[in-house]
């Protein structure tokens, strides 16, 4: 048996979860429960065969197996961090190629590989395997076995299409796109990845976070009853921005300042808040039908985006979800999800109560630390990716995350315009925000106005 095969602890945890499935679902091994001796029988929301768990149990580390050469496309802070997490998640990984629009980002990533934090094994990527420019992605894809796509999401659909055409397993960060055109492209490419039996993981790390996966089991087992509403939040301080250097063209400035431009990031309702929206989509197995939203821009120093959104989504069956996100310093913060059912309420801090506030279930964080070597969801998702590749066990989260991305895009469009937007409308829109030809040039910046909803009075 290889040293990273499922160990005794993981086997016992798995067995315990299977044994608990007949009562409060498969997550009882990581939970404490309260209640009387005569618990009412639960009515599952759907058969266990239809549950959507990318791995159960989540492995601390990928199994040993065939050595793999990985390439990273997008060497900024997120991409470099994901690459380091991959090296923590699996042995036998060689960083074979790096690609980015800018050489300074590649150099920072290379330095981190040479001097890894936490005592990792140093790696060195040769000069001839470091590629810059807008075509760097293809050179990286051609040089490796598996690829990580972590550029600004504007180019995700194009990069994903190229990686799947080359038959490469893909990890890509959320969101999947910035517009409906790109999201539909992702869905099409995802079907091609399925046909090839590829493994695609999409950076929605809550799917690999035990406090979420164990709660998912409880909800699917019927502990809160039928889902009737939801609340999803990402309210935080402002993110970073870059002042324009006189030496930069407009295009270079926007790329370096990408989280502030809609065509590059999708706005923060898409780039960041998609995580929370995705949790409701995942737990409920429902699709959005329409939405009405509003937003505003008060303090954002650059770009063309809003800094707050409030969206009322209506899902199948008339289920309402309130979505709220804000990026302004000095305001109340909240990054969480809440789902209400006919019998109880789940909150993402790992607690389920009945409708009177009595605790029914609670995720045991201390037990998780005792039972498992890894609690980082951003490591666990990459361990699952490599483990699936080595086990020849395909997984593909691309279409699912594209749907969540489109849900967020639908809310953004409604807030920008003030109009009600339906799912059918957003699925058929020809909106494509990404320039046909990306070049490091100055641009007509008047084409990026700050949106103003509705119309003024005459």
Whether the Cβ atoms of residue 218 and residue 352 lie closer than 8 Å to each other: yes
In three-state secondary structure terms, 149 is strand
- Provide the pLDDT for residue 458: 80
24: pLDDT strictly greater than 50: no
Among 113-122, 184-193, 372-381, 447-456, the minimum mean pLDDT is found in: 113-122
**Chain centroid to CA 407: how far?**
13
pLDDT, greater one: 32 or 320: 320
Residue 421 bridge partners (DSSP)? 291
**Chain centroid to CA 346: how far?**
21
User: 125: how many CB neighbours lie within 10 A of its CB?
Assistant: 19
Measured distance CA(185)–CA(160) in Å, rounded: 9
- Provide the pLDDT for residue 13: 36
Taking the chain, what is the end-to-end CA distance rounded to the nearest angstrom?
77
What's the pLDDT band for 32 if we cut at 50, 70, 90? low
- Provide the pLDDT for residue 38: 55
Strands, E assignment, 237-343: 288-296, 308-315, 319-327, 334-341
The model carries a pTM of 0.92
- Give the number of C-alpha atoms closer than 13 A to the C-alpha of residue 220, restricted to the C-beta side: 24
Q: What is the dihedral of CA 100, 105, 110, 115, to 10 degrees?
A: -150
Among 4-13, 134-143, 242-251, the minimum mean pLDDT is found in: 4-13
Structural domains of the chain, ranges and CATH numbers in brackets: 228-343+403-447 (3.30.360.10)
| Signed CA dihedral, 276, 278, 283, 286: sign only | positive
Q: Render pLDDT for 196-252 as a digit per residue (tens, 0 to 9).
A: 999 999 999 999 999 999 999 999 999 999 999 999 999 999 999 999 999 999 999
Strands, E assignment, 8-129: 31-32, 68-73, 93-100
Residue 346 bridge partners (DSSP)? 339, 352
Residue 31 bridge partners (DSSP)? 363
Residue reference for tokens 């001097």? 115
For 439, phi then psi, to 5°, come to -140, 150
């Amino acid at each position: 048996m290889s040293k990273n095969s499922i160990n005794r602890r993981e086997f016992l945890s798995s067995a315990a979860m299977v044994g608990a499935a007949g009562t409060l679902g498969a997550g009882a091994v990581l939970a404490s429960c309260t209640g009387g001796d005569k618990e009412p029988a639960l009515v599952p929301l759907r058969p266990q065969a239809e549950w959507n768990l990318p791995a159960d149990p989540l492995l601390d580390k990928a199994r040993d197996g065939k050595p793999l050469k990985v390439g990273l496309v997008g060497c900024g802070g997120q991409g470099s961090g994901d690459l380091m997490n991959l090296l923590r998640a699996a042995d036998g990984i060689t960083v074979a190629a790096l690609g980015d629009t800018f050489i300074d980002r590649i150099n920072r990533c290379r330095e981190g590989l040479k001097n890894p934090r936490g005592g990792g094994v140093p790696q060195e990527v040769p000069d001839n395997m470091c590629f810059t420019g807008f075509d760097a992605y293809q050179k990286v894809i051609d040089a490796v076995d598996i690829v990580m796509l972590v550029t600004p999401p504007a180019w995700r659909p194009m990069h994903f299409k190229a990686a799947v055409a080359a038959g490469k397993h893909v990890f890509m960060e959320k969101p999947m796109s910035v517009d409906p055109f790109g999201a539909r492209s992702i869905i099409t490419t995802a079907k091609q990845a399925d046909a090839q039996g590829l493994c695609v993981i999409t950076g929605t790390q809550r799917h690999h976070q035990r406090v979420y996966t164990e709660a998912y089991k409880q909800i699917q087992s019927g502990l809160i009853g039928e889902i009737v509403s939801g609340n999803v939040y990402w309210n935080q301080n402002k993110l970073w921005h870059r002042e324009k250097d006189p030496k930069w063209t407009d295009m270079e400035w926007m790329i370096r300042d990408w989280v502030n431009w809609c065509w590059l990031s999708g706005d923060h309702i898409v780039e960041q808040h998609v995580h929370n929206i995705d949790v409701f989509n995942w737990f409920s197995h429902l699709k959005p039908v329409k939405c009405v939203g509003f937003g505003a821009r008060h303090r954002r120093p650059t770009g063309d985006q809003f800094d707050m959104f409030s969206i009322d989504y209506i899902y199948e069956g008339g289920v309402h979800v309130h979505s709220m996100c804000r990026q302004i310093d000095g305001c109340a913060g909240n990054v969480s999800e809440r789902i209400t059912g006919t019998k109880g309420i789940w909150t993402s801090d790992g607690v389920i109560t009945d409708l009177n506030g009595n605790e029914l279930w609670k995720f045991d964080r201390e037990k998780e630390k005792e039972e498992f070597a890894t609690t980082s969801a951003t490591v666990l998702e990459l361990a699952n990716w490599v483990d699936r590749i080595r086990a020849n066990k395909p997984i593909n989260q691309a279409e699912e995350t594209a749907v969540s991305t489109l849900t967020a895009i639908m809310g953004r469009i409604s807030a920008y315009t003030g109009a009600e937007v339906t799912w059918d409308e957003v699925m058929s829109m020809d909106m494509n925000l990404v320039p046909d030809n990306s070049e490091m040039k100055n641009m007509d910046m008047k084409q990026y106005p700050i949106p103003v909803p509705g119309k003024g009075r005459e």
